[in-house]
Amino acid sequence: MKRQILILFSLIFISLTQAQNPWNGKVVLQGFWWDYWNNNYPDGWANYLSDLAPRLRDLGVDAVWIPPTYKNTGVNSVGYSPFDHYDLGDKYQKGETKTRVGNKDDLLKMIAILHANGIEVIQDIVLNHVDNAGSQTGAGGQDLYALNNYNDWTTSGYKNFRYVSFDSPADSTSAFHYLNRKGRWPKNWQNFYPNQFNACCSNDLNSVYWGPDVSYESNAYGQSSCVNCYNPNQNQNYMLDEARNWFVWFKKQTGVDGYRFDAVKHFPTYVVEDLLWNAQNNAGFASGGTQMYAVGEYVGGGSDLDNWVSAVQNRAGTFDFGLRDGLYGMTQGSGFYDIGNIPNLQQGNRQRTVAFVNNHDTFRPQFDANGNYIGWNTGDELAPHIDPFDPRSEAAHAIAFAVDGSPMIFMEDLFNLSNGNRYSHWPTNHTDLPIRDALANIIWCHQKLNFKNGAYKVRHQDPDHLIIERSGKAIISANDNWSTWQNAWIQTDFAPGTQLHDYSGANSNDIYVNNSGWVEIHTPPCDGSNMRRGYSIWGPAGITGGFNPNPKLTTQEWEMANDLGDSHPWSLQQGGALPTNSLDYRYVGKVHSDTGLVQIDLYPADSTQSIKLLILDDNDVSLDSITGVGHLVLNYNVTVAANYKIKIRNASINNSGQKVWVKVTYKAPKQALGNNVPVHTKDAAQDVEVKLYPNPTYDRIFLAAPISSKVNAEILDVTGQLIMEMQTTLQGEIDLQNLDPGNYFIRLSGDKVNVFKKLVKL
């Protein structure tokens, strides 16, 4: 008894001296399992989560952790083998445009819909390695100098990373073509271990585990040994500088709210600290501030976790593997585990800790054809799984939600996916995708009883019974005994006479705090004789209701530059700087907007040249536009919730080329919409966009437009002299075999159509 009192007072003291959790106790759902897939959403997990969003709102989820969303080796990859961080499913490379999550439009729409439901988005970040250098066939990816002189014995010298861009689409898979792609953040062998200054394979930082292992040291820079290739100079600190630039770009482009960093043991802490400082303070309108959610996956003991958090200046937390070991021990202990010891296993620095029961790395089931469990791939698990059907799983979750930190709940725990519908269910169908009631109850209690605003105090500890109070808000108790109820009198911060109700439903009778501030807590066993297995949650009587968080606006910014985006016809054809001496349109992107105001801001690099900014419906019909110089603001009042496109072009053919930034602020609907087409009254024929492909060309050119009107096509030389003339349609083609190589102009004219473009014949 004396020992228990000493532990009790020491833990109370710790809870009172700890500062309030800067994340404010967010409940985060990991919105995927390891090999996530649904037949109704092939390569479209973003659309799956968009449809699931209203259910998550109703459950009280604060944030959703999403898988990596940048281009991998192909859609068969679940995201942890990154190839091009700047490709969010908008470029055609590696034989695909989409990622496993979907295309870029799907991703941005999902983020906006989750925001509309009051839910934040936590992006998974992989920065310790990249993978699969080379074109779709692997051509051009191997650097023989690296293979022969700096061999890591794992990647066979595949360390030439070149990426498609608006100026260099994937027209060929040859080595020459691949090595001349000019997309942002190219990489050479010096950017990986080993290089001329940094050896490999001796520790966690420099060992190759999943692909060429990034070397972030300031001296890890240089040029490729390739010849006749795109081979720009690199400066000192190249990899860290480029990672920082990408991180800030990504924050602005997507509008995500926080980050989960993968495998942080395998790259330096100063990288994480640098990137997070910039995302918190140096991302302009997208800066997340000190409250921005960030967590690193560091597998280690409590002191290892504490040291890592300190090294990143407390800008990120860690998944609490020590606490999780205790929860696993309890579920596997058959009632003989000392449950009272679990709070002592939590890491010391709890300011940014994430308590969890399972995640995609600890939970690797084997499935039958319908997705039901038939075994476990234990060799692939970072830590042993806790089966969601385990009778002590409910008690484990109750503890994880009761302790300090921001609790994370795994999708496979919240939803029963082992019911024959894993691959065929619709996320909106409560029968096909059933919720585990106990976990929904624990989330409800955490949110409605406001755990996060009550100081964390351990009130009772014995081998079968653990009681935690969130001061003046809730009392959470756990019992790992199979068949015996546990009862204990505890001191509480609730005022004498307070009527407490068990919101778990395990106890039907309310209890009252006595005149000395004590109350008796009753906790059911784990055998299933009660509606709850091993937990109860008490709070002031009379609390009811569901969840209806305030919707969040979404702001996303597109940087229009030639080394971003992609002009290939199989891509989304977004991006590209405004061209020189051309009225060609540049397609910025798409927003999925609810009714209300959409604000579009345009920021040009050159504020002296006149630019036209347009908002169009999904059929490329212009709805409104603004023309001017400098910072332009187009406010459009959406009357029909739908997809809307943003485009820009020079207002004068005499303009020189330039980079432009376009920022859009809008509110998405709470549910994903179909292809609604807004009613419009403007005659937009003059804004019909016509694309020419390929251009330059060898023998013929194809026309692409949203309508197929007949037009007259004229080919003129640079002096304006007519060279050829023919009739075609806006979706036709023009034979140029008899045209001499050179520079030309093409003029297309018809009913309310007047297009003038540059043409190059090779």
Question: In this predicted structure, what is the pLDDT of residue 404?
Answer: 92
Which H or E run contains 710?
A: strand 710-717
Do 649 and 584 reside in the same domain of the chain?
yes
pLDDT in tens, 706-719: 677 788 888 888 66
Reported confidence tier of residue 12, pLDDT bands at 50, 70, 90: very low
- Taking the C-alpha atoms of residue 348 and residue 335, their distance in angstroms, rounded to an integer, is 27
Share of the chain above pLDDT 90, in %: 83
Inform me whether the pLDDT recorded for 330 exceeds 70: yes
> What confidence score (pLDDT) does residue 737 get?
87
Does residue 242 lie in a domain region?
no
Angle between helices 437-448 and 45-59 (to 10 degrees): 60
Binned at pLDDT 50, 70 and 90, residue 692 comes out as: confident
Indicate whether 679 and 696 sit together in one domain: no
DSSP letter assigned to residue 47: H
- Assign 488 a pLDDT band (cuts: 50, 70, 90): very high
Asked, for residue 351, whether it belongs to a domain, the answer is: no
Of the residues 684, 702, 735, the one at which a domain ends: 684
Q: Are residues 594 and 679 in the same domain?
A: yes
Residue at token pair 């504020």: 607
565 lies in a domain? no
CA 576/CA 557 separation, integer angstroms: 14
pLDDT tens digit string along 548-589?
A: 999 999 999 999 999 999 999 999 999 999 999 999 999 999
Tens digit of each residue's pLDDT (9 = 90 or more) over 625-641: 999 999 999 999 999 99
* Contact (CB, 8 A) for 49 and 67: no
Domain identity same for 678 and 727: no
For position 705, what pLDDT does the model report? Answer: 75
Output the domain CATH number for residue 594: 2.60.120.380
Residues with Cβ < 8 Å from 109, sequence gap 6 or more? 46, 47, 50, 590, 592, 668, 672
Q: Check whether 89 has a pLDDT greater than 80.
A: yes
Does position 86 have pLDDT exceeding 70, yes or no? yes
Q: Is the pLDDT of residue 13 over 50?
A: no
Looking at the predicted structure, is the pLDDT value of residue 461 above 70? yes
User: 676 pLDDT band (50/70/90 cuts)?
Assistant: very low
608 and 636 assigned to the same domain:
yes
What pLDDT score was predicted for residue 688? 65
- Are both 661 and 706 inside the same structural domain? no
Q: Is residue 10 pLDDT above 70, yes or no?
A: no
Flag whether the pTM goes above 0.85.
yes
Q: Tell me, what's the pLDDT at 496?
A: 98
Final residue of a structural domain among 684, 702, 720: 684
CA distance 270 to 276: 10
Structural domain contains residue 147: no
What number is the average pLDDT over the span 299-312? Answer: 94
Give the integer Cα–Cα distance in Å for 83 and 79. Answer: 10
In a shared domain, residues 637 and 661: yes
* In contact, 643 and 590? CB cutoff 8 Å: yes
In tens, the pLDDT along 362-402 reads 999 999 999 999 999 999 999 999 999 999 999 999 999 99
Per the prediction, the chain carries an average pLDDT of 92
Residue 87 and residue 68 in contact, taking contact as beta carbons nearer than 8 Å: no
Same domain, 583 and 672: yes
Q: Do 401 and 439 form a contact (C-beta atoms < 8 A)?
A: no
Q: What is the CATH number of the domain that holds 738?
A: 2.60.40.1930
Distance of CA 453 to the CA centre of its chain: 28
Claim to verify: residue 739 and residue 671 sit in the same structural domain: no
pLDDT at 36 over 90: yes
Average pLDDT score over residue span 68-84: 94
For the ranges 14-23, 295-304, 310-319, 587-596, the lowest mean pLDDT is seen at 14-23
Task: Say whether both 700 and 635 belong to one domain.
Answer: no
**Angle (CA) 560 566 569, round 5°:** 130
CB-based burial of residue 756 (10 Å sphere; 0-12 exposed, 13-18 middle, 19+ buried)?
middle
Flag the least confident range among 63-67, 152-156, 723-727: 723-727
Residue 593 shares a structural domain with residue 680: yes
Q: Is residue 328 part of a domain?
A: no
State which amino acid sits at residue 675: N
Identify the domain containing residue 653 by its residue range. Answer: 577-684
- Among residues 684, 702, 723, the one where a domain terminates is 684
HSE-CB for 646 with a 13 A CA cutoff? 31
| The pLDDT of residue 718 | 64
- 339 found inside a domain: no
For 171-222, how does the pLDDT look when each residue is reduced to its tens digit (9 = 90+)?
999 999 999 999 999 999 999 999 999 999 999 999 999 999 999 999 999 9
Instruction: Tell me, yes or no, whether 711 lies in a domain.
Output: yes
Span 403-429, pLDDT tens digits: 999 999 999 999 999 989 999 999 999
Whole-number pLDDT of residue 162: 98
State how many domains the chain has: 2
Structure tokens at 751: 């009913």
SS3 of the chain: helix, strand, coil, percent, to 5: 20, 25, 55
- Per DSSP, the residues of 81-140 read S-SBTT-SS-S-BTTBS--SS--HHHHHHHHHHHHHTT-EEEEEE--SB----SSTT-TT
Pairing mode of beta strands 317-319, 293-296:
parallel
Is position 736 within any domain?
A: yes
Q: Same structural domain for residues 698 and 658?
A: no
Confidence of residue 507 (pLDDT cuts 50, 70, 90): very high
Confidence at 22, pLDDT banded by 50, 70, 90: low
**What's the Cα-to-Cα distance from 453 to each of 18, 21, 112, 246, 472, rounded to whole Å?**
13, 9, 28, 36, 9
Residue type, 643: N
